[in-house]
Amino acid sequence: MMPIDKQNQRKKDAALQQLPAQPISEWRKWLLQCLEPLAAQTRNSDYASRAAELIQQSRPAFSPAMKCLFELHSFLFIMEQLHTGTFVGYHTRVAMEDVQGSISKLFEQSPALADAEPAFWDRLAETLADLRGRLLAEERYADYFSPVYYALWKKWLYPRLPGSPLFVEELAHLEALKPQQKIAQTRYQWMFAKCWLCFLLGRDEEAQALLTALNRKSRLRIHDYYALLDELEQRKEWNRLLHWLKQTASLLEDHHGVHLNAFFAYWDAVLAQMPQEEEAMWEQLLLLLPASRSIYADKLHHYEKWQEWIDYQLSEGIDPLYYRVAMFAPIEKHAPELLLPFYHQAVERYVLLKNRDGYKSAVKLLKRLAKLYKKRKDEAGWETFITVFAGRYSRLRALQEELRKGKLLS
């Protein structure tokens, strides 16, 4: 008669061989048994790495596509074991982020989905249902799991199954799970998931309408919005990216200007391919003022719109000393006369401070003015100006001293 231990081992081995054909609920039972030796261990990075090793050592043989799916569920299960309560401490949080990193690496693999066995599609449907549920969970840390949902569509399904009925079916599943409006986090994820699916289907007007509604009700998270634009840039869909930039810029009106640098970096990418669309970029820069003011000024300078750049500096009351001298070099070369009012006005502002530091700054700018007049071969104009200037402020002894130190007066 076979010993009980060997009988149990045989049963375990038989169950292990059947696991690839079993539903995900059975995978989870096996994963729970696999990690039993770690039940008392503190939930940290060491726990996560040891858990991954135990699963790797014991898992059965899977087909390439099923193996990727099983590994995904293994990492999700480890994250569940890490996140066992309402409070997540620092070391547990680091461990969860490590597991997220492992999931990201997994998504870089390329399972051949077109050749996957029938059982794979059953497991995939269960996986989508599982991730969909996590996406709409009312948990404080649901965001640890929601990126997996989007990455599955973006990294595995869309590139290998474009136009698949899976996308339309997923929209129907999401619609059936419409959450209560009072749950802000859940509603946000629900709306953005629908937007993401519409985007992948090429239904841009629907996706943009969802983004607009989401921004109105819950305030759009900028990184979610940029995830869509990133996808278009990576695929080099320039016409479509241009359409998105034109149609969705208004979403950024209520957000801080710091986010606009990335937005106009997409414009740079588009204009590198479609320079004839430059005017549309200027329209959007103006639309997003005042938040876009620093970017607007940089673009004016980059595109050598010197008159507009100077006008903007004057209207904003910007100090020429805010910039390094190199910023003015191309203007001095191509249109030095434009700098005259910029420097003249700043000199007067510094003199009105009526203190030594102000006078020193005024002298710095006066020296630049002297060079500009010389560059324009208008030494007589400079002599007239500096004589009138010194006479007008003859009673300001400290200013007169700084002018002589700067060798602007004899």
What local confidence, expressed as pLDDT, does residue 217 receive? 83
Alpha-carbon distance of 234 to 238, in angstroms, equals 10
Residue 116 binned pLDDT confidence (cut-offs 50, 70, 90): confident
Alpha-carbon distance of 146 to 131, in angstroms, equals 7
Residue 2 has pLDDT above 60, yes or no: no
Residue 13 has pLDDT above 70, yes or no: no
Alpha-carbon distance of 359 to 399, in angstroms, equals 5
Read off the tokens for 359. Answer: 């006078």
Residue 4 has pLDDT above 70, yes or no: no
CB 244 within 8 A of CB 208: yes
CB 201 within 8 A of CB 168: yes
Alpha-carbon distance of 154 to 193, in angstroms, equals 12
C-alpha of 106 from chain center: 22
What are the distances in angstroms from CA 25 to CA 30, 31, 73, 97, 341?
Answer: 9, 10, 11, 25, 75
Read off the tokens for 93. Answer: 């949080």
Q: Is the Cα dihedral 274, 277, 280, 286 positive or negative?
A: positive
Q: Is the Cα dihedral 159, 161, 167, 170 positive or negative?
A: negative
Cα-trace Rg, the chain: 32
**pLDDT, tens digit, for every residue of 52-98?**
999 998 888 888 899 999 999 999 999 999 987 666 788 888 999 99
C-alpha of 389 from chain center: 51
User: Which amino acid is present at 59?
Assistant: R
Residue 142 binned pLDDT confidence (cut-offs 50, 70, 90): low
What are the distances in angstroms from CA 226 to CA 127, 150, 233, 262?
Answer: 26, 14, 10, 8
**Among residues 65, 73, 241, 67, which one has the least CA distance to residue 157?**
65
Residue 128 binned pLDDT confidence (cut-offs 50, 70, 90): very high
CB 59 within 8 A of CB 12: no
What contacts 160, CB < 8 A, 6 or more positions away? 110, 111, 112, 113, 114
Read off the tokens for 400. Answer: 């007169």
What local confidence, expressed as pLDDT, does residue 330 receive? 96
How many helices and strands in the chain, by DSSP H and E? 22, 0
Residue 112 has pLDDT above 50, yes or no: yes
What are the distances in angstroms from CA 112 to CA 64, 70, 156, 164, 195?
Answer: 8, 15, 9, 15, 27
User: What's the DSSP call for residue 155?
Assistant: I
**pLDDT, tens digit, for every residue of 161-200?**
877 899 999 999 999 988 765 577 788 899 999 999 999 9
Instruction: Give the residue carrying structure tokens 């990193």.
Output: 101
Alpha helices in 156-305 (DSSP H): 158-160, 165-176, 184-200, 204-218, 222-234, 238-248, 260-273, 278-287, 293-302
**Among residues 338, 347, 339, which one has the least CA distance to residue 365?**
347
User: What's the DSSP call for residue 116?
Assistant: -
Alpha-carbon distance of 35 to 82, in angstroms, equals 12
User: What's the DSSP call for residue 22?
Assistant: S
Mean pLDDT of 191-215: 95
What local confidence, expressed as pLDDT, does residue 335 receive? 94
Mean pLDDT of 109-122: 85
Domain range summary for the chain, segments of one domain joined by +: 16-35+51-81+95-152, 322-410
Read off the tokens for 105. Answer: 């690496």
